Structure 1
Amino acid sequence: MPKDRPQTRIQQRNTGAILDAALEVFSQYGYRGSTLDQIAQASGLSKPNLLYYFPSKEAIHVELLSGLMDVWLDPLRDLDASGNPRDEILSYARRKLQMSRDLPRESRLFANEILQGAPRIMGSIEGELKDLVDQKAAVIRGWITEGKIADVNPYHLLFSIWSLTQHYADFDVQVRAVLRDQESDPFPEAEHHLETLLSRLLAP
């Protein structure tokens, strides 16, 4: 569909339906296992109608990933160098965990892209994401130098937070199966565990 004209209300609704359907399909089957026919069926539109809005499966995937990257980076952008280091890091971890609770399909979409070698977002990873991580790693190093938190590797601290939080989205079925007889909602206890773990790790 031409991008130089504003969309009508119907076009906006159809575009949203396609993207939501694609998110469901991609997060379940991965990029390679998904088809335009599946997306069209899930969106309630015909395949020719879908192709009016997006010329290919890759175009839909790129659109989803582009929007997701901003959402994914927002909590890290908010990590404030002038704030209390422990509170800032715990707040960041808490927001990442909340994203796993509220945006599990988006998390799996991102994970699937990374597992394939990030062919459609490598530019963003090597550019915007790396630049932001470098910037926040410097902030964490400053806190370490000032003796406000323990001497930890800032990059591996962030990697640990990513893995500790995104696990609950990417492996949701496994988490809920294991905890079936203990917790109907794993997130309150997960948040408590995460805060305890990080507080002990960061204590100077």
Structure 2
Amino acid sequence: MSIQADTGVDDGARLKGRIRQRQEGAMLKAAEKVFARAGFQGATMAEIADVAGVPKATLLYYFASKEALYRAVLANILALWLAETESITADADPATALSAYVRAKMRLSARRPDASRVFANEIVHGATHIGEYLRTELRSTVEKRAAVIDQWAAEGRILPVDATHLFFTIWAATQTYADFDSQVCAVLGKTRLSPPDHERATAHVLTVVLRSCGLPCPAHGAATISPPPANTTH
């Protein structure tokens, strides 16, 4: 009897937890949209609450201030992006791992363009809210993954490459399709990018990244550049 009662309490707590997660997720998504359009200074809690479809008091219950909400949005974006680096491990196939990372970043640019724009706005304005995070957690993650890429090169599995700057290149190449989509659309003569447009862009970015490492480019069929031999010294 007591076990059933405890289970009921646990089930109720889990249900409340799931409801809270959904509500927070909806508010973060709404905030992402507003911050992407208006920036931190221009956004208001009233507008975010309106976009989220909740009373302003409810939004303030979850997030005590605009800055707290903004930081939560940025933390959510960074967690999402950094999780995608987990494919880059010492025992992974370099072409497979790098392709997975590039494809994931391109997918996020297509599906979550506002996230990229919020982050870009923050960086352009001096990273005043996440500077410490960039200097600590982000730097640590990049150093760890860059060490893996350096190890691949030392083992002759890829050509030598500046691993840290390779990440900068991937970020710039993938996020441009979200941050500067109006420029891309204007040059391509389109009002918006279609799924085939994104796949074409993904194939190109993959080619740039993989060829810089001396790896085959499956997006373009048979490889034209073979992986370096094990005794590569340059």
* TM-score, normalising length: structure 2: 0.76
* Partner deviation per Cα, 1:16-38 (whole Å, 9 max, x = no partner): 44322211100111111211222
Alignment of 1:198 with 2:209, yes or no, is yes
Which amino acid in structure 2 is aligned with residue 202 of structure 1? C
Superposed CA RMSD in Å reads: 2.4
Given that residues 77 and 132 in structure 1 are in contact (C-alpha distance below 8 angstroms), is that contact kept between their aligned partners in structure 2? no
Listed as ranges, the gaps of 5+ residues in structure 1 are none
- Cα distance change, pair 106–146 in 1 and its aligned pair in 2 (3 A): same
Alignment of 1:98 with 2:125, yes or no, is no
Per-residue deviation, 1:82: 0.6
Corresponding residue of 1:169 = 178
* Partner deviation per Cα, 1:173-201 (whole Å, 9 max, x = no partner): 22223223597442111111112222321
Identity %: 41
Which amino acid in structure 2 is aligned with residue 194 of structure 1? V
**CA distance in 1 between partners of 2:110 and 2:25 (Å):** 22
**CA distance in 1 between partners of 2:50 and 2:88 (Å):** 41
**CA distance in 2 between partners of 1:67 and 1:139 (Å):** 25
Per-residue deviation, 1:14: 4.5
**CA distance in 2 between partners of 1:13 and 1:146 (Å):** 46
- Pick aligned residue for 2:77 from 68, 72, 91: 68
The structure whose RCO (Cα within 8 Å, separation 6+) is larger is 1
- Matches for 1:74-153 after TM superposition, within 5 Å: 74-153=83-162
Alignment of 1:40 with 2:45, yes or no, is no
Per-residue deviation, 1:86: 2.4
Which amino acid in structure 2 is aligned with residue 188 of structure 1? E
Corresponding residue of 2:27 = 18
Per-residue deviation, 1:128: 1.4
- Cα distance change, pair 12–96 in 1 and its aligned pair in 2 (3 A): closer
Given that residues 36 and 47 in structure 1 are in contact (C-alpha distance below 8 angstroms), is that contact kept between their aligned partners in structure 2? yes
**CA distance in 1 between partners of 2:60 and 2:189 (Å):** 42
Aligned length: 200
